[in-house]
Every structure is written in structure tokens, then in C-alpha cells.
Amino acid sequence: MRNILLKIEYDGTAYAGWQTQRNARTIQETIEAALKRLTNRKARLISCGRTDSGVHALGHVANFHTDSKMPVNRLQRALNSILPKDIVIKSCLEVHSGFHSRFDAISKTYRYTIMNGPSPSAVRRDFTAHIPYKLNFALMRREAKTLIGRHDFKSFQAADRIERSSVRTIKKLSLRKKGEQIEIDIEGDGFLYNMVRNIVGTLVDIGRGKIPAGSMVRILRARDRKKAGDTAQARGLCLMEVIYRNG
């Protein structure tokens, strides 16, 4: 049985997220249907994680096991020929049998993009969150530094069906401003449900003065979701890269 890794780029606007759901169109089920069409066999994609409705990806990773003999370069071309235009297989590789897209990942990087001005973007409307309020960018950048390192991020965890540890490590958290556009990059060893969007929403609330300056330490220590800010819109979020052991 072969183990095939897919690196996937997608525009999540038209999908109810990654994970297969009843009565909803998802990225996972769309790719699995294409694989079945090509190999005449049902394939189950093992994902590096799940993304919510409207979230995008430039470097989502998933793997699946198959007894198909189709060469990986041919499989990539064939998938891209039948997948909808908003899903693209960027690479297709055969990996060792024990590789697991989720458990072997050592870090993920997300980018959140904000259009901070009086008007939204027409061209990038599905890929940026429009924040019309004036934001104190320097303050947001200072407050973000509090979150770097290993902490309990319970205050930034949305309600989840599965009970799990809320301790995570944020390796990098950077903010950049280019004109009216703000980019927030977060790299971590793993993320809780809605953790990135809740962090961004809190930074925005601090930047607009809704939450007082200096509050991030208190919010982090509170371990209470009610103490943090609003959840940022899904459309501004993109999974950029997943890093694995041994490259």
C-alpha cells in the first residue's frame, strides 16, 4: 500500500471548511471524490488539521493510502484537470508508510490579512477582513509579543467537542503594515479551535481601544474565553505552511 502526500492550495470561499460534513460542500470530500473517480477506489484523506468555512490555504497538507499504481506526477495532473478551479494540488509525493500529515507536523504558519481603511477591497474581498476603525498598529504589535512562547491559551479557545490540553507554543508572531493592509503571521506547534481568529480579534479590539492597552497578559492568565476579544472573520485567514520533521 502506497502513502501519497498532497500539498493543496484552495480558496475556501465556497466551502464549509475542510472536514467532510453532512449536507455541506467541503474541501476534503471534493478531493476524495476526485481520487475515487481517478483510481476507482475510495480514499480517505488524513489532514494536517481542519479549517473552518471561508478559510483559505496555500500550503494545506494531507496524505492517503492507496494500492493504485498511477505515478505521482500523472496523479497530480489528473487531479488538477478534474478538480474545481478553486482547489489546486501544488505537489504530489510518495512518502514512507508511517507518515501522518497531522501527527508528524512540528509547526504551522497562518496569515491573517486585514484591510484597515474606510473602504473594503473589491478584488481581495474574499481574502481580507475589512476593519474600518482606526487601529493603533504599534500597540497591537507590542501586545502580540506577550503571546510568544509556551502558554495556556484557554482564553483563545472556542468551545470544542473534544476536551484537549490548551497549552501550545507560539514560535513566531509578527505584524506588518503596507499602506492600509495589515498582515499578521502566527507560527505555532499547534492551534486550538478558532485560536488564531480569537487572537487576531483580541489584537484588533486592543488596537481600536475596545480593550485597554496592557490587557493581553491579564487575558492570557485568565484562561477564560469571555475575557478575550471578538472572533475575527474567517475570510482573512490563510494556512500558509506546514513544517515536518526531516523537512
Per-residue pLDDT of the chain (247 residues; tens, 9 = 90+): 999 999 999 999 999 999 999 889 999 999 999 999 999 999 999 999 999 999 999 999 999 999 999 999 999 999 999 999 999 999 999 999 999 999 999 999 999 999 999 999 999 999 999 999 999 999 999 999 999 999 999 999 987 766 789 999 999 999 999 999 999 999 999 999 999 999 999 999 999 999 999 999 999 999 999 999 999 999 999 999 999 987 6
Residue with cell 507560539: 170
Q: How many residues does the chain have?
A: 247
pTM: 0.95
CATH assignment at residue 53: 3.30.70.580
Residue 155 belongs to some domain of the structure: yes
> According to the model, what pLDDT value does residue 58 have?
98
> According to the model, what pLDDT value does residue 158 have?
87
> According to the model, what pLDDT value does residue 246 have?
74
128 with 40, same domain: the answer is no
Q: Count the Cβ atoms, other than its own, within 10 Å of residue 16.
A: 17
What's the grid cell of residue 244?
515536518
> According to the model, what pLDDT value does residue 161 have?
66
Q: Which of 52, 67, 126, 152 is catalytic?
A: 52
DSSP conformation class of 235:
G
Contact 241, 134 (CB under 8 A): no
> According to the model, what pLDDT value does residue 243 have?
97
85 with 133, same domain: the answer is no
For residues 74, 77, 79 and 85, what is the CA-based torsion angle, rounded to 10 degrees?
A: 180
- For residue 52, indicate whether it is catalytic: yes
Contact 192, 153 (CB under 8 A): yes
Residue 101 belongs to some domain of the structure: no
For the chain, the 3-state helix, strand and coil shares in percent, each to the nearest 5, are 25, 30, 40
115 with 218, same domain: the answer is yes
What's the grid cell of residue 41?
477506489
Contact 207, 136 (CB under 8 A): yes
> According to the model, what pLDDT value does residue 78 have?
98
CATH assignment at residue 167: 3.30.70.660
> According to the model, what pLDDT value does residue 9 have?
98
> According to the model, what pLDDT value does residue 223 have?
95
34 with 86, same domain: the answer is yes
91 with 111, same domain: the answer is no
Residue 147 belongs to some domain of the structure: yes
27 with 139, same domain: the answer is no
Q: Range of 128's domain?
A: 106-244
63 with 155, same domain: the answer is no
